[in-house]
Every structure is written in C-alpha cells, then in structure tokens.
Chain A
Amino acid sequence: MPLQTITLHINGENRPTTVRASDTLLYALRGRLGLTGSKPGCLNGDCGACTVNVDGWPMKSCLMLAVEAVGKKVTTIEGLHDSPIQQAFVKEFAFQCGYCTPGFIMNCHSLLEQHPDADDQTIKEWLESNICRCTSYIEIEKAVKAVMRGE
C-alpha cells in the first residue's frame, strides 16, 4: 500500500500529511506532524490519554484512522491556548505526573462546549472515559465545576 497525502484540518490550519490508510490519527499527530501532546497510553481506547476534539466532540485518537479525519476539524491540546479549563487545572492542581492531563483537558473542553450546564451525572459519565494513574479525580472535577461557575 503506497503512502498517500491527505489534508487534515488541525488547530485551525490545513496540514498536508503523508500517511498509510491504516495509520491511526494518534500516529499521524505524533509521528507525522510532531504534535506530541496527545499521549499514547493503552492504544486500545481504554485510557483516554490520546483524546482530541473532532468537530466539537471528544475522540480517542488511537481509535480513529487518520484518513477518517479528512474534512473534520481536529483540535489537539496544542490548539488550546490558556483556555479556561487549562487555567482551572493549574489553579486546582488537577494533576500530578501530567501524562493523562492533555487527554483529560480535551475531554473536559468538549464537555464544557457541549454541555456547559452539565449535572454531576453527566460530568461523571463523560470523565469516566479517562484514567488518571495519580488519582487526581477530585481536583479534575473541581476544575470542571470552577469553569462552569465562571471562575
């Protein structure tokens, strides 16, 4: 199978990218585009460390082929710049080692976009998609709620 050049719309820019059809979006981001903020973890759709935002919704980039992202708007952690959820993570100290943090932030960012008034059940349901080995869950929940309160 020859390599093919596709154009991915990432963080507001069109990025021509050469991939195999079987390359995951995670691989294209990290290995082809140098966007290493999306972290490889389980590579099986379980841990959420590779979460990005596709057309406004969270997506585990290890579960998506790069070719499937053609025509969609992809936002990675590099595309957020001092956003409210990033500020809240710092303020609430919602991380320790930081490996899961980009994935958590992208999921929280999508949640705040889609359900800015989410109730506790919705927050729990969305955030169950990510795993934090350092167990910063309470602080992460505080960070989401701080943004919802407009702090």
Chain B
Amino acid sequence: MAGKEDFQIVLPFDFDYYLPKNLKEAVELYRYLDQQGKQPMFFSGGTELITLGRIDLAYTEAVIDIKEIAECQMIQFSDHQLLIGSAVTLTQLEEANPFPLLTSVSSEVADHTARGKITLGGNICAQIFYREAVLPFLLADSELIIAGPEGLKTIQINEIFQEQLRLKKGELLVQTSTDKRFIEAPFYAVKRRQQWDTGYPLITLAALKMGQELRVAISGLCPFPFRSPEVETYLNRWGQAAETRVDNALSALPKPILEDVEGSADYRLFVLRHLLVDALSALERAGA
C-alpha cells in the first residue's frame, strides 16, 4: 500500500491500460470503451495525463497507448514527402533531424530528458498553450493523416488546426506529411524566455521563406499557437520599411494576447515586435 510520502506520487484515479498493435484495433477500442462510459483517452508520451492527472486536471478510465502502432512510430521520406509518426518522441526527432526547422523549435520544448517522453502528436494535441511542435507544420502547409471510425483521412493542417487540433471524438493523429520543398527552405526560429536559458517560455517565433514569401507562426503570444494570413500579408510588403511592416502586422494579431506571470500583454508585444524585425532581417535576402 502507498506509504505517507507516496500519496503524492500516485495518480488519484485508476484506469485500464490498452496497448493496441494497429490502428484498427485502437479505433475500435476507443469506440467500445466510450460506449462503456470509460472516457477513453489516446496516449502517446502521456506526460500531460500524468502531470495534470495528479492535480485533478485530467481524467480517464481507459488509456489507449498508441506507441506500438507502426504507422505512429515512423520517420520516413516517401517520394517528396516526409512522414513523421505521432508517437515519435521529440528526442528521436532531434537525433534523426529530418526537418531542421522542427528540430530547432522542438529542441526548446521542456528539457532534454522530458523530450525523450514527449511525442510529436502529444505536443500538437496537448492542453498547454505553447505546443511549439505544431509551428513548423503550419508553416509548411503539412497534411495530417488521421484515423477514426470512418477509416483514414488526410487533411491540410491549416484547415483542421484552428487554435487546437479539431479532432472528432474517437479520432487520433497518426502522421504528419510534409513536402520536401518546405523542409529545405530557409528558416528562422527563436524562443524568448523571461529569464535565463531555462525559464518558462515567453514567445516562440518560427519563420520560413518560400521564394519571396515569408511565413510566420507564433506560440506563447495568444492562448494558442497560430499562423495568420493577415499578419503575413503585412510582413510581405517588401517595398515598405521593416518597422512599418511589423507595426502593421502587430495590428492584425489574433486576440487575446496572454497576460500572465511570465509576461504582460504589452511586454509580449514588445518582445514580438523585436522578434519580427529580427526575422525579417535574417530572411530578407534568403532564397533570393
């Protein structure tokens, strides 16, 4: 039995644990367990369930671990597409480095050891508002392969990621598919923290240049990661001074701007302004 100290270590609820070997089994398990009222949850790295569950902010009675499913574990170039499985850990992505912009962004998530548990799909589907791993895929117009009760479907990420990944009940993210042209494009990525190199993140900016078109995606500014066509329209008015383009872009940001212990809304906008000027400067001549 749990000793006095160990009450803090254990999760305050029980669940059944399932380890399906293929997508069909995973989807069917979800449907069955949902019918049983078990509030099933797909589980990949599981860090969010374990940490939020401990403080009663997450709950399930049935965990469906997708780690053993081959499609969720692959990193593979297929023709001109890079396929990455949702259960690949961020450390695996850093070590293999198939998508340098993704490596640059995801290597700032949490810390090195935690990234050995946090997975790509888990980060994209998480409750926390940072979810930086989604930024490169928003920039690259990646496609997502999703499994659900109706089988597999492929959908453009910018259609289905609106503030969060809009999965229907019983669906799970299987893979991302990214065109090689975006993987080879010039990029700029930076994460600003309020304190030191290891403090909690304030803002992460990822930028990518396709030909003369600059694309930007931002995490930590709003309660959700985003890429905004309006912001990019202003930034791409190359005939104007960089400061003018940035000021106009700031006027088109989504709302609300986060205001919390890590930084006020005004401070976040101040930091973002400098990040955008830096990104324009870094990528101005790239790809010319």
The residues of A with any CB-CB pair to B shorter than 8 Å are 1, 20-24, 26-27, 30-31, 40, 43-46, 48, 51, 57-60, 62-65, 67-68, 107, 125-126, 128-130
Q: Considering the complex, which residues of chain B in the window 1-53 have a beta carbon less than 8 Å from any beta carbon of chain A?
A: 2-3, 5-6, 8-11, 13-17, 45-47, 50-51, 53
Kindly list chain B residues whose C-beta atoms are within 8 Å of the C-beta of A31: 2-3, 6, 9
Kindly list chain A residues whose C-beta atoms are within 8 Å of the C-beta of B3: 31
User: Contact check: which of B47, B63, B113, B198 meets A21 at CB < 8 Å?
Assistant: B63
Task: Considering the complex, give the chain A residue whose CB is closest to the CB of B92.
Answer: A57
Q: Is the interface of A mostly helix, strand, loop or mixed?
A: mixed
A128–B15 contact, CB under 8 A? no
B111–A128 contact, CB under 8 A? yes
A22–B6 contact, CB under 8 A? no
Task: Give A38 to B10 CA distance when docked, in angstroms.
Answer: 15
B14–A128 contact, CB under 8 A? no
B10–A23 contact, CB under 8 A? yes
A27–B14 contact, CB under 8 A? no
In the complex, B96 has a CB within 8 A of chain A: no
Contact A27/B113 with A1-B15, A1-B16 known, Cβ cut-off 8 Å:
no
A45–B51 contact, CB under 8 A? yes
Kindly list chain B residues whose C-beta atoms are within 8 Å of the C-beta of A46: 111
A22–B112 contact, CB under 8 A? no
Kindly provide the distance from the CB of B111 to the nearest chain A CB, expressed in whole angstroms: 4
In the complex, B197 has a CB within 8 A of chain A: yes
Kindly list chain A residues whose C-beta atoms are within 8 Å of the C-beta of B98: none
A128–B51 contact, CB under 8 A? no
A128–B46 contact, CB under 8 A? no
Task: Considering the complex, give the chain B residue whose CB is closest to the CB of A29.
Answer: B9
In the complex, B177 has a CB within 8 A of chain A: no
Task: Give A21 to B116 CA distance when docked, in angstroms.
Answer: 21
User: Contact check: which of A24, A64, A126, A129 meets B10 at CB < 8 Å?
Assistant: A24
Contact A125/B112 with A21-B17, A23-B10 known, Cβ cut-off 8 Å:
yes
Task: Considering the complex, give the chain A residue whose CB is closest to the CB of B63.
Answer: A21
Task: Give A58 to B89 CA distance when docked, in angstroms.
Answer: 13
A-B contacts, 29 of them at CB < 8 A, read A1-B16, A21-B14, A21-B63, A22-B11, A22-B15, A23-B10, A23-B11, A24-B11, A27-B6, A27-B9, A27-B10, A43-B54, A44-B51, A45-B50, A45-B51, A45-B117, A46-B111, A51-B113, A58-B113, A59-B116, A60-B114, A60-B117, A63-B46, A63-B117, A65-B46, A68-B65, A128-B197, A128-B198, A129-B113
A45–B114 contact, CB under 8 A? yes
Kindly list chain A residues whose C-beta atoms are within 8 Å of the C-beta of B11: 22-24
In the complex, B110 has a CB within 8 A of chain A: yes
B47–A63 contact, CB under 8 A? yes
Ranked 5 nearest A-B pairs via Cβ: A1-B14, A129-B113, A21-B17, A129-B111, A22-B11
Kindly list chain B residues whose C-beta atoms are within 8 Å of the C-beta of A125: 107, 112
Task: Considering the complex, give the chain A residue whose CB is closest to the CB of B117.
Answer: A63
Task: Give A46 to B114 CA distance when docked, in angstroms.
Answer: 8
Kindly provide the distance from the CB of B170 to the nearest chain A CB, expressed in whole angstroms: 21
Task: Considering the complex, give the chain B residue whose CB is closest to the CB of A131.
Answer: B198
Kindly provide the distance from the CB of B257 to the nearest chain A CB, expressed in whole angstroms: 26
Kindly list chain A residues whose C-beta atoms are within 8 Å of the C-beta of B54: 43-44
Task: Give A116 to B112 CA distance when docked, in angstroms.
Answer: 17
